[in-house]
């Protein structure tokens, strides 16, 4: 009986790993597809519908890259983050003086996404070892001036072939860049639903 249980457990692990790898590849592809859209960096507060709300298609910030890539795979982070914040508001940062969740902006804030991904995804090492970062991973950074940032690791390699590239929006629109270790990494996650 124990032998069969071990076999079943092994097969489950293989299936789960394959499913995660397929999801990660789809997320990488979704992020890459976003680089074809012309987007102006715009951190303004927008009133958007809920659920499945988005800022105007030609505007966005770093978090909108993440939101739009996941939405292409049928995952609405606006709804997912809001639902958890309603239940667990005290677990999320209070950097903005809010007393309750706000469906227009909460999912568009890097610190909130960090809490969400750590809670519902897999937190991974933040070492500066390129082999630890794989397509579909989410990475957060701290930029100069204590600004937070987020991007997606994609299945394209740097010119020297040593690390995967990042799709993000740091001010120049939704672009692909070799910037994994350019800033101080504060978080590294894998999230699928």
Q: Average pLDDT of 54-76? A: 98
Across the chain, which distance is largest between two alpha carbons, in Å? 60
Q: What is residue 34's predicted lDDT score, i.e. its pLDDT?
A: 98
More confident residue, 21 or 64: 64
Which band of pLDDT confidence, cut at 50, 70 and 90, is reported for residue 193?
A: confident
Q: What is residue 14's predicted lDDT score, i.e. its pLDDT?
A: 43
Q: Average pLDDT of 146-166? A: 98
User: What would the pLDDT profile of 142-151 be if each residue is shown by its tens digit?
Assistant: 999 999 999 9
What phi-psi label fits residue 147: left (phi over 0), alpha (psi between -120 and 50 degrees) or beta?
beta
Q: What is residue 55's predicted lDDT score, i.e. its pLDDT?
A: 97
Say what angle helices 62-72 and 2-34 make with each other, to 10 degrees.
120
Q: Taking a C-beta distance cutoff of 8 angstroms, is the pair 189, 122 a contact? A: yes
Q: What is residue 20's predicted lDDT score, i.e. its pLDDT?
A: 76
Domains and CATH numbers, the chain: 2-190 (3.90.1720.10)
Q: What is residue 2's predicted lDDT score, i.e. its pLDDT?
A: 63
User: What would the pLDDT profile of 96-126 be if each residue is shown by its tens digit?
Assistant: 888 999 999 999 999 999 999 999 999 999 9
Q: Average pLDDT of 53-82? A: 98
Considering the chain, what is the average pLDDT of its residues? 93
Q: What is residue 18's predicted lDDT score, i.e. its pLDDT?
A: 66
> What are 142's two structure tokens?
């701290």
Q: Which helix (H) or strand (E) holds 148?
A: strand 147-157
Q: Taking a C-beta distance cutoff of 8 angstroms, is the pair 103, 97 a contact? A: no
Q: What is residue 96's predicted lDDT score, i.e. its pLDDT?
A: 87
> What are 93's two structure tokens?
């940062």
Which band of pLDDT confidence, cut at 50, 70 and 90, is reported for residue 11?
A: very low
């Amino acid at each position: 009986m124990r032998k069969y249980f071990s076999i079943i457990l092994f097969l489950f692990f293989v299936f789960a790993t394959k499913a995660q790898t397929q999801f990660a590849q789809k997320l990488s592809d979704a992020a890459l597809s976003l680089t074809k859209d012309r987007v102006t960096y715009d951190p303004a507060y927008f009133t958007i519908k809920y659920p499945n709300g988005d800022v105007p298609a030609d505007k966005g910030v770093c978090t909108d890259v993440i939101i739009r890539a996941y939405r292409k795979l049928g995952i609405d982070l606006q709804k997912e983050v809001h639902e958890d914040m309603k239940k667990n508001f005290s677990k999320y940062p209070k950097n903005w003086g809010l007393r309750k969740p706000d469906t227009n902006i909460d999912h568009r804030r890097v610190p909130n996404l960090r809490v969400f991904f750590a809670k519902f995804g897999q937190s991974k090492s933040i070492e500066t070892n390129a082999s630890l970062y794989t397509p579909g991973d989410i990475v957060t950074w701290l930029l100069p001036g204590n600004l937070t940032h987020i991007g997606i690791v994609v299945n394209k390699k740097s010119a020297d072939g040593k690390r995967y590239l990042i799709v993000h929006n740091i001010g120049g629109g939704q672009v692909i860049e070799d910037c994994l270790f350019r800033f101080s990494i504060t978080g590294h996650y894998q999230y699928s639903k």
